[in-house]
Amino acid sequence: MARKDIQLDHEVILSLVGAQSSVLDLGCGNGDLLYLLIKEKKVHGQGIEIDEQAIYKCVAKGLNVFHGDIDTGLAEFSDKSFDYVVLNQSMQQIIHVDKVLIDALRVGKQVIVGFPNFAYYKARLQLFFKGKTPVTGLLPYQWYETPNLHFLSISDFRDYCRSKGINIERRICIGEKRRVAILPNLFAQTGIFLISK
Amino acid sequence: MNKEKKIIKNDNVGIVQAQTFSFDSLKLESGEKLGPVTLVYETYGVLNQEKTNAILIVHALSGDAHAAGAHEGQDDPGCTPPYRIGGYATLGWWDAFIGPGKAFDTDKYFVICSNILGGCKGSTGPSSINPKTNKPYALDFPLIGINDIVNAQKHLIDHLGIDKLLSVVGGSMGGQQVLSWLVNHPNRIHSAVPIATTIRHSPQQIAFNEVGRQAIMADAHWKSGNYYDGPAPSKGLAVARMIGHITYMSDSSMAEKFGRQRKESNEPFKFTADFEVEGYLRYRGDNFVKRFDANSYLYITKAMDNFDASAGRPFCDRLRGVKAKVLVISFKSDWLYPAYQSKEIIKGCKLAGVQTTYCEVDSTYGHDAFLLEVEEETHLISHFLKKIFYDYEVTGVYGA
């Protein structure tokens, strides 16, 4: 497995997760991230995914995965049953985000959230100059076909955590190719937060 | 996906022979003792030297030990397509899944399937001879439970010298047996695959079984179970089977299969089987009585209704400390064993921290799907078994 093949956001999450920990990946898709975490960090991984075809791909990789939706799938886990609960690129598609985040913080000792930054400069330019809903690399959908229910920025999520008394332990912002340290809410395409309560 | 094509694939295990195993006595959960007990079983593939590649397949209500391949020279008229192909001898009930390169790959695994205790295909049941009277047991046969059925299987596994099964797999009532293995003998299995099943029957499931039982007992030939020297209660058993078949299909699979197609008939009787679906049910019912014993139907359905894998406690409590890995499969259109019942199993696994995978297959076949969704189940089962057999966490390629 060549290092360069790994998605940047997966690489960041890999760096946040402790070795041999337990990870619940909500909306694990084809299971690439879980696969990486198990292979590289020897974690005990469990996925939840709504798409049946994605389940078949996870099973082919040897992953443990539950077929179901995130909104109801979390409630059945006992408190702190995982070291990490991961919501990577899935939070913006959940109906009751607030409820799920609270539950994720109950089930996981720490929660890792990764989401596309709606205030990314390319999105701002499209909205400002073209007057159109932004379509970017990480927000590739037209308004009528997007699975995303929520559009938020890195600043939005920071404010949300503050208002809910959620600790932000790490925040790593990334652009198309590398991490972004300066003005992340403007220059970062993705925000990745390590949070706890 | 072409299901017919899949099923008629010729790479089966070939001609197989049933074997028998008898033991002196089985202590039942009720406290009663039953003996001697005989189990008829078939095996496919080769048991490896370490005896680590054995998989036990457990059958559903009307199934038997003949899960794959064909018996020499035998042509069972009670068996219908897709399990009967042309003039060919009858293929086993799960032949599409068991064989070289199939879900249960007989090049790798040693597959065992036995007719259940209480059955009528060679294993000890109500139609067997009671050694005390030299007559069929009939209703002198003790009430048995799913756990008793599994305990009898455990005797067979001991007899075969297998310490730990690679997996126990079954659908419907087979799935109930899988759950019984999982909660009662977790150290004897590496993994469990309960398919389209439930921790315990709902009132609706009990109700359907009860109507079937009442149909049998209402047949004048039933005679409180003592019919073995005369005509069998075939009408009652056929009606029970017809009800069963309705519950195994879905609204849409029936519509697709039969529509409102009328049968051609010249019978003068007013209530002939006008519609295709009526003819189908009658055909299924009539064929079933040729191969199944009415008293077995009563005993087995009662065992299914009485079964509760949770034993009255939260199911997760019964799973605590279980190291076996679990694959649960349900089907979207299955209204007899709806997906919510599989999710109850999952909930217990989640709370107990059992390593589990769950898939709800998008099928229109209803409960019958577990026999018919060959491609999806094969994918899930074959990858799952490979992981257990070779004992790895993940395989494949990142990004694939």
Report helix, strand or coil for B20. Answer: strand
Asked whether the beta carbons of B33 and B23 are under 8 A apart, the reply is no
Closest among A79, A78, A72 to A26, alpha carbons compared: A72
What is the pLDDT confidence band of residue B269, given thresholds at 50, 70 and 90? confident
pLDDT for residue B12: 83
Dig out the tokens for B303 from the structure. 């065992």
pLDDT digits 0-9 by tens, B346-384: 999 999 999 999 999 999 999 999 999 999 999 999 999
Determine the residue among A66, A71, A79, A103 to mutate to test chain B binding: the one whose Cβ has the most chain B Cβ atoms within 10 Å: A66
Could you give the CA distance from residue B357 to residue B351 in angstroms, rounded to a whole number?
A: 14
Sequential DSSP letters for B303-346? HHHH-BTTTTS-HHHHHTT---EEEEEEETT-SSS-HHHHHHHH
Average pLDDT over chain A, rounded to an integer: 93
The CATH number of whichever domain residue A43 belongs to comes to 3.40.50.150
pLDDT for residue B2: 39
Enumerate the residues of chain B whose CB falls inside 8 A of the CB of residue A66.
Answer: 346, 350, 356-358
The model carries a pTM of 0.93
pLDDT for residue B75: 55
pLDDT for residue B73: 65
What is the pLDDT confidence band of residue B3, given thresholds at 50, 70 and 90? very low
Count structural domains, chain A: 1
Whether B367 is catalytic is yes
Asked whether the beta carbons of A150 and A92 are under 8 A apart, the reply is yes
Indicate which residue of B219, B334, B342, B368 is catalytic.
B334
Instruction: Answer whether residue B10 shows pLDDT above 60.
Output: no
Would you list which residues of chain B are within 8 Å, Cβ to Cβ, of chain A? Answer: 325, 343, 346-347, 350-351, 353, 355-362, 376, 379-380, 383-384, 386-387, 392-400
In a domain, A76, yes or no: yes
pLDDT digits 0-9 by tens, A100-141: 999 999 999 999 999 999 999 999 999 999 999 999 888 889
Could you give the CA distance from residue B79 to residue B91 in angstroms, rounded to a whole number?
A: 9
Calculate mean pLDDT across residues B110-128.
98
The Cα of B320 is separated from the nearest Cα of chain A by a number of Å equal to: 13
Phi, psi of A85 (to 5 degrees): -110, 125
B356 with A66: Cβ contact below 8 A = yes
pLDDT digits 0-9 by tens, B36-60: 999 999 999 999 999 999 999 999 9
Dig out the tokens for B37 from the structure. 């007990």
Between A and B, how many residue pairs show a Cβ–Cβ distance under 8 A? 82
pLDDT for residue B261: 80
A62 with B351: Cβ contact below 8 A = no
Burial class (CB in 10 A: 0-12, 13-18, 19+), B369: buried
pLDDT digits 0-9 by tens, B255-264: 999 988 887 7
Sequential DSSP letters for A182-195? SSHHHH-SEEEEEE
Dig out the tokens for A167 from the structure. 């600790």
- Give the contacts of A101 (CB within 8 A, at least 6 positions apart): A87, A91, A111, A113, A164, A166
Provide the domain limits for residue A159: 3-118+151-196
Instruction: Answer whether residue B279 shows pLDDT above 70.
Output: yes
pLDDT digits 0-9 by tens, B125-159: 999 999 999 999 999 999 999 999 999 999 999 99
Instruction: Answer whether residue B82 shows pLDDT above 50.
Output: no
B356-361/B325-331 β-pairing:
parallel
pLDDT for residue B81: 47
Going from the C-alpha of B133 to that of each of B117, B137, B221, B290, the distances in angstroms are 20, 8, 22, 26
The Cα of B267 is separated from the nearest Cα of chain A by a number of Å equal to: 49
Q: Is the ipTM here above 0.95? A: no
E strands, B37-156, are 37-44, 54-57, 70-71, 98-99, 104-105, 110-114, 129-130, 135-136
Enumerate the residues of chain B whose CB falls inside 8 A of the CB of residue A45.
Answer: 393
Could you give the CA distance from residue B107 to residue B57 in angstroms, rounded to a whole number?
A: 16
Instruction: Answer whether residue B337 shows pLDDT above 90.
Output: yes
Determine the residue among A59, A71, A106 to mutate to test chain B binding: the one whose Cβ has the most chain B Cβ atoms within 10 Å: A59
Architecture of domain B3-201+309-390: 3-Layer(aba) Sandwich (3.40)
- Give the contacts of B198 (CB within 8 A, at least 6 positions apart): B175, B176, B205, B337, B341, B342, B344, B345
Instruction: Answer whether residue B90 shows pLDDT above 90.
Output: no
Report helix, strand or coil for B251. Answer: helix
- The minimal CB distance from A62 to the residues B351, B392, B399 is found for B392
CATH numeric code, B202-306: 1.10.1740.110
Calculate mean pLDDT across residues B268-297.
90
The number of residues in chain B equals 400
Instruction: Answer whether residue B247 shows pLDDT above 90.
Output: yes
What is the pLDDT confidence band of residue B6, given thresholds at 50, 70 and 90? very low
Whether B128 is catalytic is no
Residue spans per domain, chain B: 3-201+309-390, 202-306
Indicate which residue of B66, B155, B245, B367 is catalytic.
B367
What is the pLDDT confidence band of residue B86, given thresholds at 50, 70 and 90? very low
Phi, psi of B351 (to 5 degrees): -65, -30
Instruction: Answer whether residue A85 shows pLDDT above 90.
Output: yes
Could you give the CA distance from residue A185 to residue A117 in angstroms, rounded to a whole number?
A: 7
What is the pLDDT confidence band of residue B400, given thresholds at 50, 70 and 90? low
Q: Which of A63-77, B104-118, B146-160, B207-221 has the lowest mean pLDDT?
A: A63-77
Sequential DSSP letters for A117-184? -TT-HHHHHIIIII-S----SSS---TTT--------HHHHHHHHHHHT-EEEEEEEE-SSSB--SSH
pLDDT for residue A2: 46
In a domain, A39, yes or no: yes
pLDDT higher at A75 or B192: B192
User: In the 8-state DSSP scheme, what is residue B91?
Assistant: B
Whether B185 is catalytic is no
